[in-house]
Structure 1
Amino acid sequence: MSIFGFKKKQEYSAKEILKQLDKCAGEFTFPMLDNGYVYPIHSKLSAYRDEKRWAIIIEVIGFNYRSGGHNGISNCLHIFGNCIKTEPGTDNANFLYITDDSTDDLTFDEEYLESLNPRAKTMMLREKEIDINHNRDFYLKKGIKLEDDDKIFVWEFMRGLEPEYNMEFEATEEEIKQRIPYDLPKIMELNEWHHPDCADSELPSKNETFKQIAKVLETGRTEFYKPTNKPNNHWKNWPDGGTL
């Protein structure tokens, strides 16, 4: 409210937000959860705003088999907004590599870097040593269908760490604040949402989730987020991811 009693004009609109998201979708820098080169593992969405600034960060943790091993496991941050420190979308600086070998053995097979080393007992996740589970029943009980009778592939192993290690998968507050203004308040955080099928040409502006999020950012009112569609961002809903 100004000193004259008139409402201060909003610095941005839902329409402008959706226009940026659509542009990134057209340039393939908006998250495509069935990316043929990346097996999806986990995802998270955070939205930030004040009267002048807005930002959306979508984290997509996955395994890119073209890189293999620890170099293939990353959290790719897709960053959008009118105050961000990079171009909207994603770039090489927004990949967070979160795993490494422990001192006991190599985590993955040396030849292809695509399956667990049967001798490996531990792995480093965010500089924290965690146990490696080779029990096939463990994965089956989590609804993870193992593709090979004699191997546990990297993406199967990583999916087996959900949900217990989701916080270690996700970006830290410091990693986020390196990419958006430090004082920009968070207004929403989602671990489940209905994501557009970008491979089928669905644009964010036509997707209920992002239309509602854009309205929340424009108004500062979280009650505008009232999804009616079931969440679909879980990896099980994107079976074509990583299958090229």
Structure 2
Amino acid sequence: MKLIFIITLFTLISCNKQIKKSTMEYTENEILEQLDLAFKGEPSKYYPKVRPQDIKYNFFLDLEHGYCETAGNRIHLYADEKQWAIVFEKSGYQNRATRAEIELDYIGNCIEYPVDKYPERNYITNANNIVLIDSDEYARIENKQAGNDLETFELIDENTKEIKVRNKLIPFNNNYKDYEKIGIELRDYDNPKKLIGFGDLIRYFNEINPSLISASEEEIKKYIPKNLKKLMTIDEFHYDPSTSPSKQETYKLISKILVTKNTSYWKPSLESNNNWKNWESGNL
């Protein structure tokens, strides 16, 4: 009788382990592999099948992009037993498009990849952009009272009272001293009046009212399952653009959190450095 009980108990334990293993569809290593692919710009196995002429993009968080004057950035983590997603969020001024945007980069095993369709080919990407200030609004507020073109280029008219951000008028602070107090260095050439730059404005908002230029939860979840549980948002972390994610503490901790669903593992030993003040960007 005792032998039968032991055998039954062993069988139940073994079955329980198998069930638990079968419900877990991903591992820390797989998450790190997917991060490495995005870091290298290589599409993953989760991208949809496409035609030979179609193009696939796989973006990773870039705080040093020459065409984007970075302001804010965060990392959002979502997971259940079978699905996981990492969403990199970055806000800033896009100097080639003359608009301020949020960029969301999605990495995971449940992403509904955005597809731009054209007659000759389709473009599949893991990125989505949300406009904060469009080019028309920047044209409206651009300085027009100057002696040469450079004194107008990407500088805000000192008489501007309000600026439309996400279709909502926000009071504009033209006191350059308030910008300098929080570490924003205004353009020092062809700017005798110390006017506020287009990118300076977004960085100022990030420092005094970050929610104004942050993505909403609805916007973030646009391309991942709506019922996927959010584990946490990471506002401060160590960023290293020269090392593969699989070799970095930041992403090893993130992968462990996603697999275990335990946010208490977020105990980084490296100092956070993801603030825009630590990186050169938007200089092309």
Normalising by the smaller structure, the TM-score range is 0.7 to 0.9
Number of aligned pairs?
Answer: 234
* Aligned residue in 2 for 1:8: 20
Q: Structure 1 unaligned segments of length 5 or more: list them.
A: none
CA contact (8 A) 1:25 1:203 kept: yes
In 2, Cα distance between equivalents of 1:125 and 1:153:
15
Q: Which residue of 1 is the match for residue 157 of structure 2?
A: 117
Q: CA shift at 1:32, angstroms?
A: 1.4
**Equivalent residue, structure 1, for 2:183:** 143
User: Secondary structure of 1:5's partner?
Assistant: helix
Q: Determine which of 81, 98, 119 is the counterpart of 2:108.
A: 81
Distance in 2 (CA, whole Å) between partners of 1:101 and 1:120 is 16
2:265 alignment partner AA: F
Q: Match of 1:106, as an amino acid?
A: R
Higher helix share: 2
> What's the CA shift for 1:190?
1.1
Matches within 5 A, 1:184-223: 184-197=228-241, 201-223=242-264
**Partner residue, 2:121:** none
Return the index of the structure with the highest Cα Rg: 2
Give secondary structure in 1 for the equivalent of 2:101: strand
Q: Is 1:171 matched up with 2:215?
A: yes
Question: Who is 2:89 aligned against?
Answer: 59
Is contact 2:59–2:126 with CA below 8 Å preserved after alignment? no
The answer to whether structure 1 residue 243 and structure 2 residue 283 are counterparts is: yes
Letter in 2 for 1:173: E
Percent identical among aligned pairs is: 35
Distance, in Å, in 1 between the alignment partners of 2:141 and 2:13 is 60
Structure 2 gap ranges (5+): 1-11, 42-57, 115-123
TM-score by length of 1: 0.87
CA contact (8 A) 2:59 2:127 kept: no
Q: Is the 8 A contact 1:102 1:124 kept in 2?
A: no
Per-residue deviation, residues 58-114 of structure 1 (Å, max 9, x unmatched): 11101121112xxx2100001111001017xx94960000225899x9222477761
C-alpha RMSD over aligned residues: 2.6
Q: State whether residues 105 and 126 of structure 2, in contact with CA within 8 Å, keep that contact through their aligned partners in structure 1.
A: no
Residue 51 and residue 156 in structure 1: after superposition, are their counterparts in 2 closer, same or farther (change >3 A)? same
Separation of aligned partners in 2, 1:26 and 1:40: 21
**What is the letter of the counterpart of residue 15 of structure 1?**
N
Larger RCO (CA within 8 A; separation ≥ 6): 1
Structure 2-normalised TM-score?
0.75
